[in-house]
Structure 1
Amino acid sequence: MNDKAEQPIPYTFSKEERLCSKRLISQLFSKGSSFNLYPLRFVYYTPEEPLSGSTQLVISVSKRNFKRAVDRNRLKRQVREAYRLNKHLFTPHQEQAPRLLAIIYIGKEKKSFDTIQKKLISGLERCLIK
């Protein structure tokens, strides 16, 4: 096999890509920029100190809008899956991609996966432009 063959896109969402640090999450929400693409809200920030190579992500769904955990978990799963399938948009622009990213579902009703995916793609592209 040729070593210089093009590597396939890794459609994974690993532990290193999850944003778990309370310090980084508070930094993201205090210093980050945000915009809304209904039903999603994007908050993004690139700190001065270097982090791991890829973007770290946190996903949130409001308990106020979705009382049942089943509904919240389903929406989080759909957003996570849409991100997993489309995070390759950041790959060619790795230096411009935000290092910390929060995606918050702000809609009041459940949307289809196709709607969520379209809005997420638009949001990821907009994160790169800013």
Structure 2
Amino acid sequence: MAGSYIIEMEKYTFKKEERLCSKRSIDDLFHNGSSFVVYPFRVVYLAYEPQERPFPAQAILSVPKKRFKRAVDRNHLKRQMRECYRQQKHTLYAFLQDNALHMSLAIQYVSNEKLPFETLKAKTAQLLARLEHEIDQSHLGKGN
């Protein structure tokens, strides 16, 4: 079961099982999770012990209606965010597998303007690197 997501990573998919859909899980994430900002994203994450799931991370991506009134703009940004995450999540998955962790993750768009895809892609890479660093630091503290 643990190796099943390795095959999926090679295809760079973002399946339903990788999306955070459960209201209970989302509430738990926002009430108990930690957060940081890598502009133009705000990340809320919650790492936990591995469970019987085919993927080590579940993510939810959002763009606020307050900043982008038109659904077309929100959907376009969400599509770009999904694409960036989909292409770069393999680094996060490898990190989580090495540390025997699973996680829930929310990525929120906080900028007031639409940024180009290449910028979003670079910022997503920074975001994932920072996320790995944050998880590393929090688990080092728990081990002492």
- Please, what TM-score do these two structures have when normalized by structure 2? 0.79
The RMSD of aligned alpha carbons is: 1.8
Deviation at 1:15, TM superposition (A): 0.7
Percent of paired sites with the same residue: 47
The aligned residue for residue 18 of structure 2 is 17
Question: Size of the alignment, in residue pairs?
Answer: 124
Pick the aligned partner of 1:55 from 57, 75, 86: 57
- Counterpart of 1:63, as a letter, is K
The aligned residue for residue 106 of structure 1 is 110
Give the unaligned 5+ runs of structure 1.
1-6
Asked whether the equivalents of residues 58 and 105 of structure 2 are also in contact (C-alpha less than 8 Å), the reply is: yes
Asked whether the equivalents of residues 50 and 102 of structure 2 are also in contact (C-alpha less than 8 Å), the reply is: no
The aligned residue for residue 120 of structure 2 is 116
Normalized per residue, the structure richer in helix is 2
- Please, what TM-score do these two structures have when normalized by structure 1? 0.88
Q: The residue matched to 1:129 in structure 2 has which SS?
A: helix
Deviation at 1:90, TM superposition (A): 1.6
Q: The residue matched to 2:11 in structure 1 has which SS?
A: coil
The aligned residue for residue 95 of structure 2 is 93
Q: 1:20-60 CA distances to partner (integer Å, 9 max, x unpaired)?
A: 00000000001111111111111110245735232101011
- Is 1:75 the counterpart of 2:77? The answer is yes
The aligned residue for residue 4 of structure 1 is none
Q: The residue matched to 1:83 in structure 2 has which SS?
A: helix
Give the unaligned 5+ runs of structure 2.
1-6, 135-144
